[in-house]
Structure 1
Amino acid sequence: MFQSTLSRTTLATLISGVLLAGAAHAAPAAKRATGGDVLPFKATEKLLPNGLKVIVVPTGFPNLVSVHIPVQTGSRNEVEPGKSGFAHFFEHMMFRGTPTYPPEKYQEVITKAGARQNAYTSDDLTNYYTTFAKQDLETVLKVEADRFQHLSYPVEAFKTESRAVLGEYNKNSANPMSKLFEVQRDAAYTTHTYKHTTMGFLKDIEDMPNQYDYSKVFFDRWYRPEKTTIIIAGDVEPAKAIAMVEKYWAGWKRGTFKSNVPVEPAPRGAQYRHVAWQTPTLPLVTVAYRAPSFVAQQKEQAALSMALSLSFGRTSPLYKRLVQDEQKVDQLFDFTPNRVDPTLATIGARVKNPADAVMVRDAILQTVAKLRDEPVSAQELEAAKSAQKYGLIRSLDNTEAIASTLASYVHFERSYGTLNGYYRAIDNLTPADLQAAARKYLVDDSMVVTTLSHDALPKGIEQLPKLASFAPQAASAKFDVLVQKSALPQIRFKLLFAAGSAHDPKGKEGLAALTAAMVASSGSRERKIDEVTKALFPMAGSLAEQTDKEMTTFTGTIHKDNWDQFLGIAMPLLTDPGFREEDFRRLKDAQRNALVLDLKDNNEEEFGKERLQTNVFAGTGYGHPVLGTVAGIDSITLDDVKAFYAKAYTRGAVKVGISGDVSDAMTASLKAQLARLPEGAGLPATSVPKGRMPNGLEVEIVEKNTRATAISFGLPLEVTRTHPDFAALWLAKTWLGEHRSSSAHLYQRIREERGMNYGDYAYIEAFPRGMFQFFPNPNLGRKAQLFEVWIRPVAP
């Protein structure tokens, strides 16, 4: 006896398909196919007088024909209480034969034709399909017409098959994913028939052997021509194929039954359900929301599906973070099915460690909140459209695949054009459409969180946070922002934190500089640094750090046309840094090399200036280079960096400046990004370092095998910019030895008149890296300074 052994697609298999679809949605593409229909075939459609719809599609593939017969009956149509599961049950019973073709004879015909045959049931349809050699088309249409019009089975066969359905339920219920979705749907719906899965409620399945009489009623109601479409695809002549259908199917009588599927009321608030699994398995965490019904000509369902695919598919930052980088989960998926009525859009993850369940749930919710608050980039959306369209076209590589794809869309309107219309809607999606769909449907009241685990999950998993708790609190966060508007389209902003090398803990000298480097040069949690660099390259954007004694500054620069995209890539470096071990090792080595090789071994002039600072401010926070010390750098751990970051880079510690052709919206979006920083006032203020006055002339000679002998000398200076004598002393310094000034006194006397060296300059404020620059960088404010003279290399 023939049974459709492959027809009951498990939810686990379904999710695997969803994962592949997510990959197709989000994959980048250089050029998108635009315009025209996604289906290139010339279809012939005919509506028979009895309501049967026929669609014939010559595919160009030789010799084979595939017949698909989608019927508009699924578990959605099971409206009577106690009668769930019958749509799926009839997928089984349709192979139980007729008086003309009992099961054995029917199977003999199919086997003789060498046909591949099966069926499946979903929420909205049941589809029967057969693929065979083209010369057997009339035979297949004949036997199919017979079973659709004259299905007959004895009560014994009915009871046997109903017990088989119970066995199938038991099989599926042993799959954790299947059981989770059963519980999820039961929690999400109170009224609509989507409350139960295609299998039906267990109590109804157990009672099914007693429902023989009702089975006849169900078949009589739903297996009618006005609810059925015949798709004939392959090596076929449309006129002849339609004539065959008319010959065998025209006598099928139209039905009269009308069903009112109950409308689901508005969501009643966020729901949480947990499935305690009896055997060892990895935990599952899913978050679902009420999603719109499928209407080919409307954007909402396509927009929501696309938005979730971009946010949770294989190319999404969250997938990269949770699956690839942190390896907290081994599956992350999204699923927004096409359904006749409002359905559920699900985001799910299989978690490796039960202790991470709350973190994974919150990472999903945080991504949902971001999807509501920030539009996706136009570039990402265009790439996703391209991948989805090309992915579909790629799948249409044989006759059966073409017919199968058609069946999954034709059943909505019984029209060949449904799929083309849907992809036209996708073509017209904008970032605003995706954000609008997210804001409308991804809301707290419709959220259903479902978990499954064998081991206990962390406390708090049952307490569902509001999406607003994951959104940046820009309105309440106060920032000191200086806006300098100009006509320049290049936007530049600076973020200044009172966190410099003077804050380095004893024994961890270099921590402030290494932390800043880790922020600017180690990527965000979602993107590694190579991905950040690649993304910023075409827009010539950058985010660079500068650390000094008292402060660290991050400078971002970007053309205004790329502002939103830049913020989405660059600001997470600061607000959500990656802090990866491999980046830490790389940057720690680079900082040590910069101290030992670039400064101490290979730059006598800058090294001399640093030694002067160290000798004058020994014992204070200014008593070591900003880069740190060898011992200090060697002792720093990644945990040290994380702890310093958490204390130093807070909302209360940042001062902001922005310049260029800046709009109010730009300033607001920058504030919104900064609102993602941790709360806090920042590091405590440092004391004013007191420089050591020399007792007479003190000389330190650093012997090196080099022709470049540089001299730096000076003494501590109480005069800073707040001192009343600062302006006068600045003028005196300018006369004596302005940096790079050939008219200053020292330069004229030592170089010009005596020809002793390269240059001679004087300073009352620190000028690090002066040998490379004409002007000092901004944001080098210090609480204590030196009067310093720099004699550039003289002959030994």
Structure 2
Amino acid sequence: MLKQFLLVGGALLLASCASPKLAQETGSLAMVSASNKILPYPIYQHKLSNGLNVVTVPFDSPGLASFYIVTRVGARNEVEPGVTGFAHFFEHMMFRGTDKYPKEAYSEALKSIGAAANANTTQDRTLYHMTGNAEKLEYMFELESDRFMNLNYSEHDFKTEAGAVKGEYTKNSASPYQQVYERQQETAYNTHTYSHTTMGYFNDIVDMPNQFAYSKTFFERYYRPEYNTILVVGDATPAEVNALAQKYFGHWQKGSYVSTIPVEPEQNETRYVHLQNDSIPAYFSMSYKAPAFSDSKIDMPALDVLASMVFSNTSDLYKKLIIEEQKVRFIGGGAGDSVDPGLFSIQVSMVNKDDMAYVKNEIEKAIAKVQIQGVDQALLDRTKSHLKYGFAMGIDTPSAIAESLSHYIQLTGDPESINRLYALYDQVSVADVQNAAQQYLKPEHLTIATISDAATGELQ
């Protein structure tokens, strides 16, 4: 499942949508059959000797190509105390330029090929992307290889960008939802680096201008071929893309650094977070420890199916709490895909804070019903069909395909994961959904976060 966080009424809310099946070839240019696949386009993979993976998806978009680089480095890799936020920092810093293409020259180069470039960061990766004139694909390779291998910035530039990052943090942290989300992560995780958000800890951001030397270390560690995948979708051939990758990235030196991510111990009690704030409607979330993404285990697909059946806008719970009783402004739930075990979060925006305990009880009753009785087979079949095909209608541009593929490259490094994942969705049974609810959605694995005008949380 491809997961996205949506901003609804000011709150970070989890939405989910199905992603297309994809195919791969490794080492050669032999086409893999696209029959019976949601995305009816072949995917080619080719790995350079330095460890850089190159993925090509030819797509009928005359004159247009999307060029993505998935750097499998995110907040998760920030294992050293005092220097969180650097994965996100380089999302900014990579646009500062090189000796050959300073910042202004890089921007002008993009304009000359009609390309739009941007980047974003998550817990597990940093993504750089541009879409432009396919006839200028070689120029895209030249521009991106230059900054990935030759990024150069002064201490003054570094401090200027660090100040911009602090400004972004300050702007984001004005939101009560962001504030409680940060506290939720710190509370849910005692050891793992998912305890801090992509932005990092505030004290680390304040100190970031003093970390010029460390920034160079971070770049040297992670901006190496083995951490990256080049993805080209559109009016291009695998032979062309592979040749350009070899020409512009083939001499990129492989690194040797491997970060050791601490393992989070099992949670054995319900944990609580509360934010006193009267500027927004009362809100609470229930976040259970969830499994890491896997394309070989049934657990995550079963939880995705459960989330759709219990918390979607066609569910019985939604109809009762929002339409009939009108106690809730919004309710949604699901698990975000992550490299390491993440969270299955249920988020609720209230009409009246006094109904929090009642609504929480109704949610627990809905979960318990699945745990005890399972789910309806016909509804399960309809839900699986919707999850499998609902997203396919939107996969009609090079950038849409690249976004979908980059999600799975982020998680496993292998876009073929989507094929294995959909094989699992086909297999999800009533028993699988019931077992997932029993294994993961239990009180000792739960962190509850609340926002209201009260001094203490209503659900503690």
**How does the TM-score come out when normalised to structure 2?**
0.92
Aligned partner of residue 267 in structure 1, secondary structure: coil
Which residue of 14, 17, 28 corresponds with 1:18?
14
Aligned-partner Cα distance in 2 for 1:63–1:45: 22
1:436 and 2:420 equivalent? no
Offset at 1:19? 3.7
Contact map agreement 2:339 2:411 (CA 8 A) in 1: yes
Distance 1:10 1:316, change over 3 A: closer
Aligned to 1:192: 192
Aligned to 1:36: 36
Offset at 1:389? 1.5
Root mean square deviation of aligned Cα: 1.8
Aligned to 2:286: 287
Aligned to 1:404: 403
**Structure exhibiting the larger radius of gyration computed from Cα positions:** 1
Aligned to 1:296: 295
Aligned to 2:358: 359
- Which residues in structure 2 correspond to 1:540-619 (within 5 Å)? none
CA deviation string 1:24-63 (max 9, x = no partner): xxxxxxxxxxx93333211111000000000000122222
Aligned to 1:124: 124
Aligned-partner Cα distance in 2 for 1:145–1:269: 48
CA deviation string 1:190-213 (max 9, x = no partner): 000000111111111111111111
Contact map agreement 1:19 1:314 (CA 8 A) in 2: no
Aligned-partner Cα distance in 1 for 2:248–2:372: 57
Offset at 1:251? 0.6
Aligned-partner Cα distance in 2 for 1:361–1:194: 25
Offset at 1:182? 1.0
Aligned to 1:770: none
- State the AA in 2 paired with 1:461: E
Offset at 1:460? 7.7
Contact map agreement 1:289 1:346 (CA 8 A) in 2: yes
Aligned to 1:387: 386
Contact map agreement 2:180 2:273 (CA 8 A) in 1: no
Aligned to 1:417: 416
Aligned to 1:341: 340
**Where does the alignment leave 5 or more consecutive residues of structure 1 unmatched?**
1-8, 23-34, 464-796
- Which residues in structure 2 correspond to 1:193-212 (within 5 Å)? 193-212=193-212
Distance 1:124 1:460, change over 3 A: closer
Aligned-partner Cα distance in 2 for 1:418–1:10: 22
Offset at 1:354? 1.5
Distance 1:460 1:109, change over 3 A: closer
Aligned partner of residue 339 in structure 1, secondary structure: coil
Offset at 1:176? 2.4
Aligned partner of residue 391 in structure 2, secondary structure: helix
Aligned to 1:153: 153
Offset at 1:314? 1.3
Aligned to 1:672: none
CA deviation string 1:319-375 (max 9, x = no partner): 111122211111111131110000111001100112112212222222222222221
1:461 and 2:458 equivalent? yes
Contact map agreement 1:38 1:420 (CA 8 A) in 2: no
Aligned partner of residue 7 in structure 2, secondary structure: helix
Offset at 1:305? 2.1
- State the AA in 1 paired with 2:458: I
Aligned partner of residue 357 in structure 1, secondary structure: helix
CA deviation string 1:640-662 (max 9, x = no partner): xxxxxxxxxxxxxxxxxxxxxxx
**Where does the alignment leave 5 or more consecutive residues of structure 2 unmatched?**
19-34
- Give me the identity figure in percent: 40
Instruction: Identify which of structures 1 and 2 has the higher relative contact order when contacts are C-alpha pairs closer than 8 Å and 6+ apart.
Output: 2
Contact map agreement 2:76 2:193 (CA 8 A) in 1: yes
Contact map agreement 1:131 1:400 (CA 8 A) in 2: yes
CA deviation string 1:609-667 (max 9, x = no partner): xxxxxxxxxxxxxxxxxxxxxxxxxxxxxxxxxxxxxxxxxxxxxxxxxxxxxxxxxxx
Aligned-partner Cα distance in 2 for 1:174–1:302: 35
- State the AA in 1 paired with 2:332: F
CA deviation string 1:41-89 (max 9, x = no partner): 1111100000000000012222210011111100000000111111111
CA deviation string 1:715-759 (max 9, x = no partner): xxxxxxxxxxxxxxxxxxxxxxxxxxxxxxxxxxxxxxxxxxxxx
Aligned to 1:373: 372
- Which residues in structure 2 correspond to 1:157-176 (within 5 Å)? 157-176=157-176
Offset at 1:11? 6.5
Aligned to 1:65: 65
- State the AA in 2 paired with 1:255: G
CA deviation string 1:394-449 (max 9, x = no partner): 12021110011100111223223111211111111111111111111111111111
Contact map agreement 2:286 2:447 (CA 8 A) in 1: yes
Aligned-partner Cα distance in 2 for 1:167–1:256: 34
Contact map agreement 1:409 1:418 (CA 8 A) in 2: yes
Aligned partner of residue 267 in structure 2, secondary structure: coil
- State the AA in 2 paired with 1:406: L
Aligned-partner Cα distance in 1 for 2:161–2:6: 22
Contact map agreement 1:75 1:122 (CA 8 A) in 2: yes
1:275 and 2:272 equivalent? no
Offset at 1:16? 6.8
- State the AA in 2 paired with 1:295: S
Contact map agreement 1:19 1:313 (CA 8 A) in 2: no
Distance 1:203 1:401, change over 3 A: same
Aligned length: 440
Offset at 1:387? 0.8
CA deviation string 1:688-728 (max 9, x = no partner): xxxxxxxxxxxxxxxxxxxxxxxxxxxxxxxxxxxxxxxxx
Contact map agreement 1:46 1:53 (CA 8 A) in 2: yes
Aligned to 2:29: none
**How does the TM-score come out when normalised to structure 1?**
0.54
Distance 1:363 1:198, change over 3 A: same
Aligned partner of residue 119 in structure 1, secondary structure: strand
Contact map agreement 2:6 2:14 (CA 8 A) in 1: no
Offset at 1:146? 0.5
Aligned-partner Cα distance in 2 for 1:149–1:19: 36
Distance 1:109 1:17, change over 3 A: farther
Aligned partner of residue 405 in structure 1, secondary structure: helix
